[in-house]
Chains A and B, each alone.
Chain A
Amino acid sequence: MKKNNWKGWLYLLPAILFLGVFMVYPLVDVFIYSFEEGYNSSSQTFWGTGWYNYLYVLHDPYFIQALKNTFILVLITVPLSTLLALLISLGLSSIKKLRNMFQTIYFLPYVTNTLAVGLVFMILFQTTEYTDGMFNFVLSLFGIAPIDFIEGPYWAKMFVLCFYTVWVVLPFKILILTSALASVNKNYYNAALVDGTRPFRVFRKITLPMISPTVFYLIITGFIGAFKAYSDAVALFGTNLNVAEMNTIVGYIYDMLYGDGGGYPSYASAAAIILFVIVLTITCINLLISKKHVHY
């Protein structure tokens, strides 16, 4: 340790203070709450400590439903959206004409107001007295009977949620991937051309390894983002997600805090810690896998 070390800490102080008060303290607090049994928020008392909150949450059918929904959502949307984004970015980088126009179109959802997006999805999927929705209309052309996507069977609702999620996360991924593709030095492709490399091999052996750090970044952030999904489900199915069977883990936490039967910060905390453990585990697995497959 050198002298004048306090100066460094002084420079860090504002950041440390803010992070400490608004990030670290709440985290620790959540952790403590999750072990306080029978916590009463108005009197701020509890009658014991232990694993009861966790047991309650893990046996709550609503939580199990939320857990299931979240996992289905994650497992479908993350690979699908990354793959789609990769295909679209590859397409975008290989065309010259109208490229900017397409790039703008693909980026539009990112800057579009959530309400407008909700409206579009209403038109697409909502069944009203007058129409079964655009999507059902298209299905009817193939002779498929109309399906109620908003209040109908579980799989239909899950389909809409996944569709919506993929659509919402796609622009950002396309943006990141197109810039990653553009930053691959053209000489690699020239070298491959001179060597007579077939296009698919160029993609698999050169392009993909070169952009692998970006792809893994997108997969990891995609996993984390999808595990934290909540607002998308609300936008489609309203706030009463438990009834709609479309709740997510974050939705469950929110309901426990503020929902109709709210006022259970201990259960919310326990669920939050469970979510944290899940995300941490998945991210660690991702990082371990990426070490093997990401170059540099």
Chain B
Amino acid sequence: MKVVLENLTKKFPGRGKTSPGVTAVDNVSFEIPDGKLVGLLGPSGCGKSTTLNMICGLEAPTDGKIFFGEDEVTKLSPELRGVGMVFQNYALYPHLTVEENIRFPLENLKKEKKLSKAQMKEKVLEVARLVQTEELLDRKPAELSGGQQQRVAIARALVKMPKVLLLDEPLSNLDARLRIQTREEIRRIQRETGITTVFVTHDQEEALSISDMIVVLNNGAVQQMAEPQMVYDAPANLFVAKFLGTPQINMFEGRVAEGKLYIGDEAVMAADGAKDGDVLVGVRPEGFVLDENGGLAVELNSVEVLGRDISIVAKHKAFVGSSLRVIVDSENLSMIGNGQVRFRLKPAKVYLFDKTTEERIRL
């Protein structure tokens, strides 16, 4: 089931008459293709959870429309939308066993949809098998590990075979190892069921690793929607470029003149197609190549050996931010002396941004 958001806006009223209130989601429109796994990515407070809650129906939008397929569901209550939701803290009922928890949504079905006990049992087993928790059915949630609770929560959300599965920060309560395991698990379950899935995360690695599509949000507005690699390789604006990638992208004050890009006084690469004038230049840490004749000269601060790579911390007078970080292959270690190092830039890893609009200037 494809999900379409049209000019979705959510305003929360302020407290008292004087406070203006908050616009959590501001005119958001995007389309989630059928059967895809989509990550809503953004810093905390960017409106991603509010967006998810509106898709779910837990929160009513102030303005805008939501479609599931061709049907508008904006005003439908959650149970009529056919969504399954996995909450951040799982919200498993602590007094019920795993089996009772998973069965709970089925017991709510009314009239012609009503299932017999045997049918329920079969459905519960089927979904438990899917999330690999069939041996835990008799346990209470408190007796499960975080990862197992997560899987039970997914099973409960899936048991009614929803048209859309929603996950709110699904991995944030898990430790680092379980996180990697569980995200692959989510990916696998999504693939097997083919249910359109939307999940919310503030963790870029999480979003990049399992999503088919990423929607980057900030201040309640969509910054970019694209495939994971595209979001990283072709950021739409300064925010996206800065938000994705660890170590963070390096920002320089730059200038375009006569088809050349200048950082400081030196021309570092060609910049055909850009208008002359001041720009912000972003260079990914891996976008530097050691080259004695390279255009960019930096003052060396320290060199950190990471095994496969080396991380160079350096200074440059046009650099904006706290530390300029360059990652190069460790084979280059011998080429790094003291004092000044010169780099050539990989054009694909260099992005120009307008200084005022912070939009990307395409070359």
Contacts and interface: CB of A to CB of B under 8 A. Distances in A.
Given A194-B83, A196-B108, A210 B91 contact: no
Interface residues of B, number: 25
A203 to B, nearest CB: 13
Contacts of A201: 108
Interface in A189-244: 190-191, 193-198, 201, 205-206, 209-210, 212
B241 interface: no
A210 B91 CA distance: 12
Contacts of B105: 195-196
B95 A209 contact: yes
A206 B92 CA distance: 11
A210 B108 CA distance: 19
23 contacts: A185-B89, A185-B91, A187-B87, A187-B88, A187-B89, A188-B91, A193-B58, A193-B77, A193-B79, A194-B78, A195-B79, A195-B105, A195-B108, A196-B80, A196-B108, A197-B108, A198-B108, A205-B104, A206-B93, A209-B95, A210-B94, A210-B95, A295-B95
Interface of B: 56-58, 77-80, 83-85, 87-89, 91, 93-95, 104-105, 108-109, 142, 156-157, 160
B271 to A, nearest CB: 51
A296 interface: yes
B95 A191 contact: no
A27 B84 CA distance: 60
A195 B104 CA distance: 8
Nearest to B86: A191
**Best-surrounded residue of B57, B85, B95, B156 (most CB of chain A within 10 A):** B95
Contacts of A212: 95
Given A190-B58, A190-B87, A191-B85, A196 B94 contact: no
Contact of A187 (B57, B80, B91, B104): B91
A262 to B, nearest CB: 51
Interface string A14-52: 000000000000000000000000000000000000000
Interface in A107-138: none
Contacts of B77: 193, 196
Interface in A170-200: 185, 187-188, 190-191, 193-198
**Best-surrounded residue of B83, B105, B157 (most CB of chain A within 10 A):** B105
Contacts of B87: 187, 190-191
Interface residues of A, number: 19
A205 to B, nearest CB: 8
If over half of A's interface residues share one DSSP class (helix, strand or loop), that class is named, otherwise mixed; here it is helix
Contacts of A198: 108
Contacts of A209: 93, 95
B78 to A, nearest CB: 4
B294 to A, nearest CB: 54
Given A185-B89, A187-B87, A201-B108, A194 B56 contact: yes
A210 B95 CA distance: 8
B95 A296 contact: yes
A219 B15 CA distance: 39
A186 to B, nearest CB: 9
**Best-surrounded residue of A195, A196, A197 (most CB of chain B within 10 A):** A195
Contacts of A295: 94-95
Contacts of B78: 193-194, 196
Nearest to A187: B91
B84 to A, nearest CB: 7
Given A196-B108, A198-B108, A201-B108, A191 B79 contact: no
Given A194-B83, A206-B93, 8 more contacts: A185-B91, A190-B91, A193-B58, A194-B79, A195-B104, A195-B105, A195-B156, A296-B142
Nearest to B104: A195
A188 B93 contact: yes
Contacts of B79: 193-196
Contacts of A296: 94-95, 142
Contacts of B56: 194
Nearest to B79: A196
B260 to A, nearest CB: 56
Contacts of A194: 56-58, 78-79, 83-85, 157
| 9 smallest beta-carbon distances between A and B, as pairs | A196-B79, A295-B95, A187-B91, A195-B105, A209-B95, A191-B91, A194-B78, A194-B85, A187-B87
A202 to B, nearest CB: 10
A209 B96 CA distance: 9
Nearest to B101: A191
Nearest to B58: A190
Contacts of A193: 58, 77-79
A206 B56 CA distance: 21
Contacts of B156: 191, 195
Nearest to B84: A194
Contacts of A190: 58, 85, 87, 91
A198 B105 CA distance: 11
